[in-house]
Amino acid sequence: MKTFSQYLMVHSQENHIPKELISTVESIIIACKQISRNVRLGALSGVLGEAGTGNIQGEAQKKLDVIANQILIDTLRTNPNVAGLASEEEDNFVAANEQGGYLVLFDPLDGSSNIDVNISIGTIFSVLLKPSGSLKTESFLQKGSEQVAAGYVLYGVQTLLVLTFKHGVHVFTLNEQGEFIETKSLPQIPEQTAEFAINASNQRHWEQPIQKYINELLAGEDGVREKNYNMRWVASMVAEVHRILMRGGVFLYPKDNRDPSKAGKLRLMYEANPLGLVVEQAGGKITNSRENMLEIQPTGLHQRVAVVLGSAEEVGHVRELHI
Ligand code: P6P
């Protein structure tokens, strides 16, 4: 089994990946290892509980949200290849190195509500080429298909790194010496599934096509699907995506009629797009229930979207119901 460094050397040579992009991703992983050390210690390092602050999303920040965000900013700013950063926890982008060729966007700690109850959380990251000209918000507003690398680090039963440079997906496990070792290469998401993930407590607020779709699944073998489905909900998107990457499934966070102005809860730039690139690179699909997620032209750093992702056949069923 290859170490992360050995993988990077082989993969970058085989796929002509610029050393500046490799360096940028290495900095992200250095930061995530430091975040993992904080997460693992929990109460022992005084990092649990509320920070007493809020972010632009209007969400109360956990201490670990703030810590993880600062670790990523401090680490990435020292890399001369990084021109700028955007974070779920920062209102505006953060300028880094003017000569840098890459932009890094991240959700420093997705699933924060799970931190204090020891359920999996994760760091999600996305890398874009910096367009020519001065750095501005519009520099970041690129389609998901423009990403040059994306992935996540899942702080779960194991600490896992899942990464793609758009030549397939690779999975690494953090060992006791603090080194990521490649443990799975090119996982493929099964086309079909009998497992769905949705927060069913919001059912009365969904649009009709989603209600119809979920009712079809709940009807099981007695309904039009003629098979029984199982349900999971972890309230940590990274954990749901990883389960789907490993065994298939469909994840939905639909638009909620309580706030018609919001297209959805989840964020396009640093949740849906990076996780969507991993899913598509593993043969799955991701939409906003109507159109391909990675082709949506972003209009804002913190833009929200509805999300349907996972096994291609199920994502297709949802899309058909919206036509
Ligand atoms: P709810 C975590 O806060 C998150 O952004 C995703 O990771 C997760 O899938 C979703 O929100 C959970 O939302 O409404 O079930 O708490």
Using the Cα atoms of residue 28, residue 33, residue 34 and residue 39 in order, give the sign of their dihedral.
Answer: positive
Q: Which residues line ligand 1 (CB under 6 A)?
A: 110-113, 199, 235-237, 253, 265-266
Query: Are the C-beta atoms of residues 229 and 194 closer than 8 Å to each other?
Result: yes
Query: DSSP string of 209-269?
Result: HHHHHHHHHHHGGGSTT-S--EEE--S-HHHHHHHHHHH--EEEE---TT-TT-S-SEEII
Domains defined for the chain, CATH in brackets: 4-185 (3.30.540.10), 195-322 (3.40.190.80)
Q: Is 112 annotated as a binding residue?
A: yes
pTM of the shown model: 0.97
Q: How far is the CA of 109 from the centre of ligand 1 (A)?
A: 12
Q: Whose CA is nearest to atom 16 of ligand 1?
A: 235
ipTM: 0.98
Query: Are the C-beta atoms of residues 195 and 213 closer than 8 Å to each other?
Result: no
Spell out the residues 6+ positions from residue 252 whose beta carbon is closer than 8 angstroms to its own. 196, 197, 198, 210, 214, 289, 307, 308, 318
Residue ranges of alpha helices (H) inside the chain are 4-15, 19-41, 63-77, 137-140, 208-219, 237-247, 273-281, 312-321
Q: Is 113 annotated as a binding residue?
A: yes
Q: Whose CA is nearest to atom 13 of ligand 1?
A: 235
Low-confidence ranges of the chain (pLDDT < 70): none
Q: How far is the CA of 53 from the centre of ligand 1 (A)?
A: 19
What is the pLDDT, as a whole number, of residue 143? 98
What is the pLDDT, as a whole number, of residue 220? 97
Q: Whose CA is nearest to atom 10 of ligand 1?
A: 235
User: Which one, of 158, 150, 148, 149, lies nearest residue 180 by Cα?
Assistant: 158
